[in-house]
């Protein structure tokens, strides 16, 4: 049985539907990457799982089953028992996602003391262990530091320590490395992957970086304009992307490994923008699609399963 099963999730903001009928599942211990460009609904999907949407957002349809229980039907108090203990969150900006006026030790201890009956002293010892676990040097001294004393990479490690403190079954990482430089990025992702193995967590990795996906994810979900357009295992996806949007994404990467220097080749792009299909019926990608046929503009293509993978495009099947 899957650990998390999102079924037909639809999230609406006033005057705008951010996520449309999204369905996907994560098995225990698995890393699922949710990929798409800015504004496609990745983060909204992730925040719906924790029920931490902005106050003006509404889940209008769908179920989110975690261990077989519908999170959307839970009382707020029961949901607070799940947050931080069963499901935890790492946000994009380590600069702003830690409280600037509380020491990092206090902020990590907070989640431990919320979910476990431990003394202040025991919690502090646990925090030191956690800081060592996320490879923060001199953890016993660093524990009283404030966020502004730490670098971006260090802060993200603190966020990770906070997220794994109570041994969650699912970790949602919302673009955890976007704000970091490239070398720090791979260190943080290595750490995350190592912790996933050691703690047996599943990870929902939200990113727009296909390089990150190729290296650290087991499976991928591609989102476009609020819909999931393709789901596949990593190997299959990178050898043969099916949806025209996925193909465009892979084509738009800089090919560093090629014979010629990458700057000599033309960088391919997907023409148009996400807004192109605003207000039109049919496939949202149709205005930008190289394979478009008249039928594409009539109805929204459903996500059709094909063995291990699924794709929402009748033209390529």
Residues that bind another protein (CB under 8 A): 47, 50, 52, 80-85, 88-89, 91-93, 96-103, 110-111, 114-115, 144, 146, 148, 159, 162
Q: Which is nearer to another protein, 106 or 292 (CB)?
A: 106
Q: Which is nearer to another protein, 201 or 249 (CB)?
A: 201
Q: Which is nearer to another protein, 47 or 237 (CB)?
A: 47
Could you tell me the two tokens for 311? 């794709």
Q: What span, in angstroms and rounded, lies between the C-alpha atoms of 268 and 251?
A: 6
Q: Smallest gap, in angstroms, from Cβ of residue 111 to another protein?
A: 4
Q: Which is nearer to another protein, 112 or 232 (CB)?
A: 112
Q: Smallest gap, in angstroms, from Cβ of residue 57 to another protein?
A: 13
Q: Which is nearer to another protein, 111 or 203 (CB)?
A: 111
Half-sphere CA count of 290, side-chain side, radius 13 A:
13
Q: Which is nearer to another protein, 115 or 288 (CB)?
A: 115
Q: Which is nearer to another protein, 92 or 207 (CB)?
A: 92
Q: Smallest gap, in angstroms, from Cβ of residue 270 to another protein?
A: 30
Q: Which is nearer to another protein, 5 or 89 (CB)?
A: 89
Q: Smallest gap, in angstroms, from Cβ of residue 92 to another protein?
A: 8
Q: Smallest gap, in angstroms, from Cβ of residue 174 to another protein?
A: 10
Q: Smallest gap, in angstroms, from Cβ of residue 147 to another protein?
A: 9
Q: Smallest gap, in angstroms, from Cβ of residue 117 to another protein?
A: 15
CA-based nearest residue to 264, from 272, 255, 253: 255
CA-based nearest residue to 181, from 217, 156, 147, 216: 156
Q: Smallest gap, in angstroms, from Cβ of residue 96 to another protein?
A: 4
Residue 279 contacts residue 205 (beta carbons within 8 Å): no
């Amino acid at each position: 049985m899957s650990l998390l099963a999102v079924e037909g999730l639809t999230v609406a903001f006033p005057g705008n539907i951010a996520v449309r009928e999204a369905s996907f599942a994560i098995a225990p211990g698995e890393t699922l990457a949710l990929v798409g460009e800015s504004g496609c609904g990745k983060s909204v999907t992730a925040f719906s799982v924790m029920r931490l949407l902005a106050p003006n957002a509404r889940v209008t349809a769908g179920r989110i089953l975690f261990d077989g229980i519908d999170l959307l039907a839970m009382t707020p108090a029961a949901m607070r028992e799940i947050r931080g203990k069963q499901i935890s969150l790492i946000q994009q900006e380590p600069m702003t996602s830690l409280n600037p006026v509380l020491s990092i030790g206090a902020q990590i201890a907070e989640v431990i003391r919320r979910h476990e009956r431990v003394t202040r002293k025991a919690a502090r010892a646990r925090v030191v262990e956690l800081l060592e676990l996320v490879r923060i040097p001199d953890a016993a001294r660093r524990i009283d530091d404030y966020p502004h004393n730490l670098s971006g990479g260090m802060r993200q490690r603190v966020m990770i320590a906070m997220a794994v403190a109570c041994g969650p079954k699912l970790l949602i990482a919302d673009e955890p490395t976007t704000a970091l430089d490239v070398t720090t990025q791979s260190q943080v992702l290595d750490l995350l992957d190592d912790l996933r193995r050691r703690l047996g967590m599943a990870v929902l990795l939200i990113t727009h970086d296909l390089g990150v996906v190729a290296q650290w994810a087991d499976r991928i979900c591609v989102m476009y304009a609020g819909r999931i357009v393709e789901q596949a295992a990593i190997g299959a996806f990178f050898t043969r992307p099916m949806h025209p949007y996925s193909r465009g994404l892979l084509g738009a990467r800089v090919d560093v490994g090629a014979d010629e220097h990458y700057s000599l080749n033309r960088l391919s792009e997907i023409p148009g923008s996400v807004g192109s299909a605003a207000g039109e019926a049919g496939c949202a990608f149709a205005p930008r699609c190289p394979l478009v046929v008249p039928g594409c503009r009539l109805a929204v293509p459903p996500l059709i399963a094909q063995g291990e993978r699924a794709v929402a495009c009748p033209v390529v099947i």
